[in-house]
Amino acid sequence: MAKVEALFSSEQGAADRLIPRWIVLRALGLIYCSAFVSLLFQIRGLIGPAGILPADRYLAAVAQSFGPGTRLWFAPTVLWLSSGSHMLMAMCWLGLAASLLLTANIWPRAMLLICFACFLSFVSAAQDFSGYQSDGMLLEAGFLALFFAPPGLRPGLGYDHPPSRASLFLLQWEWFRIYFESGLVKLLSGDTEWRHLTAMDEYYQNGPLPTWIGWYIQHLPHWFHWTTALATLVMELAIVWMILLPRRWRVLCFFIVTPWEIGVIFTANYTFLNYLVLALGFLLLDDRFFSRWLRIRAERTPPPRRTLENFGLAVSAVLLTLVAYVTTVELLSMLFGRLPLPMQPVTMLEPFRIANQYGLFAVMTRGRYEIEFQGSRDGQEWVPYPFRFKPQALDRAPGIYAPYQPRFEWNLWFASLGSWQQNPLVPRTEERLLTNDPDVLALFARNPFAGDPPRQVRTVLWQYWFTPMEQKRATGDWWTRKLLGVYAPVLARDAAGGVTMVAMPDALPTHD
């Protein structure tokens, strides 16, 4: 029992990590805030009743496949109560309010629970719009932070309740796994780009949402990209192990990975992913690191243990042990394949996204392809729907939008790498554009058919490249592009107001 208390109790917690804890929890509040702010402007168009992939239809299908008891476990979401527009917006506003209170260090445990419940509710019902590793990273960190945060309404630094060693370890373990497992998948995938260290040669151009800084970095010599590819593997597979070394090495590790993450933030828009990894990196530090700027009270008086706290200790021991087991099994399975170990805990925790397997950029994208929606009133002249964030106009500079996440445009990047049959969100969007659905149109920069909806809608596929330096100086264009063909079926409104398919796309050129 004494060993359990030493791991899971705040009375014997890591008293030298009060400032790093304070920083990480404030960062989590801001990251949750960015997630809910982006959903406020998108959620109705994504999964609303008239959205692209309505949550009510998805939950109805889940209800048909699972019984009343198991469906909530399979899809843990408050949207079972209602999935209408008002409920969706209320969920986002509640999560946003809780994230701001968490940032202000007001009742952090309760606010973390509300943020986690609201974000999990979206992720569990968002279907294709929530299949990102960044969502799992935030949910895992948010769940572990429930046991990491101090109790109380205004806890300050939480002198009397330092973080439990188990929750601190598991947050550090998540930070380590994000890096190390990403390095593993690069090797295990057998991708020639990583094998030959050419993975970064077109990386800045081909990612989901490039930045203007990435445009300039892309034009640096090959030796620079070769070096950064090698440095990525070294950092992910070797340097992160410094977390196990004495204090001075952990501090050194912090000063290596932090500038790296800042560089990624400015050269690519990966939503809140890199902000979260950057924040977790502060757990490499301790209070002594900050002592030159801040004074920490040395003494503390642990409050008397209550019966309810004993129950909470038992619950945290069970849940954190489960997370530790599942994440360890998933890492080992990457190295050795399926192991003869109990897999029920893995299956049990999977719907909650609190014990994940990571692996970023296992295979590098070898081209930039963009899906463009176009409408027409006569079937001859086609007018494009302008995006808010994606590359489209050749003279528009790629922006820096993260941590804001335009989930619709993000998914279109993935859709462009496959067929429309694999990505039903594309024809579903075409259907919504034929009726000028306001929630879906809000996902675009503007509606080119504001007076009357188009008679026909289609999608075309372009291949994009960064312009050479000389062309940029001469024309001001950041992009050049080539039309590959029609991507998905051409849809039209019939006389009765229904939707009919008027043409199928020709076979598009294959691309990796």
10-residue stretch averages of pLDDT, the chain, 512 residues long: 58 82 98 98 97 96 89 95 97 98 98 98 96 95 97 93 94 98 95 95 95 97 97 97 96 97 96 97 95 70 60 87 96 90 92 95 93 94 96 96 95 94 95 95 95 93 97 97 96 83 71 53
Decide: 20 and 158 in contact? Cβ < 8 Å.
no
Contact residues for 327 (Cβ-Cβ < 8 A; gap 6+) = 170, 173, 174, 177, 355, 356, 357
Six token digits for residue 431: 């259907």
Is the Cα dihedral 244, 245, 249, 251 positive or negative? positive
Please give the pLDDT value at position 300.
56
Instruction: Kindly state the helix (H) or strand (E) to which residue 249 belongs, with its residue range.
Output: helix 247-267
- Between CA 504 and CA 309 the distance in angstroms is 63
- Between CA 488 and CA 508 the distance in angstroms is 10
**Half-sphere exposure in the Cβ direction for 254 (13 Å, CA):** 17
Q: Across-strand partners of 486?
A: 460
Please give the pLDDT value at position 11.
56
Decide: 410 and 207 in contact? Cβ < 8 Å.
no
Please give the pLDDT value at position 297.
65
* SS3 track for 84-139: CHHHHHHHHHHHHHHHHHHHCCCCHHHHHHHHHHHHHHHHHHCHHHHCCHHHHHHH
pTM of the model: 0.94
Decide: 473 and 215 in contact? Cβ < 8 Å.
no
- Between CA 245 and CA 136 the distance in angstroms is 28
What is the rounded end-to-end Cα distance, in angstroms, of the chain?
55
- Between CA 157 and CA 184 the distance in angstroms is 37
Please give the pLDDT value at position 6.
59
Q: At 191, is the secondary structure helix, strand, or coil?
A: coil
**Between helices 18-40 and 108-125, what is the axis angle to 10°?**
40
Q: At 486, is the secondary structure helix, strand, or coil?
A: strand
Please give the pLDDT value at position 302.
58
State the Cα torsion 252-231-141-107 to the nearest 10°. 40
Decide: 75 and 62 in contact? Cβ < 8 Å.
yes
Contact residues for 72 (Cβ-Cβ < 8 A; gap 6+) = 80
- Between CA 117 and CA 112 the distance in angstroms is 8
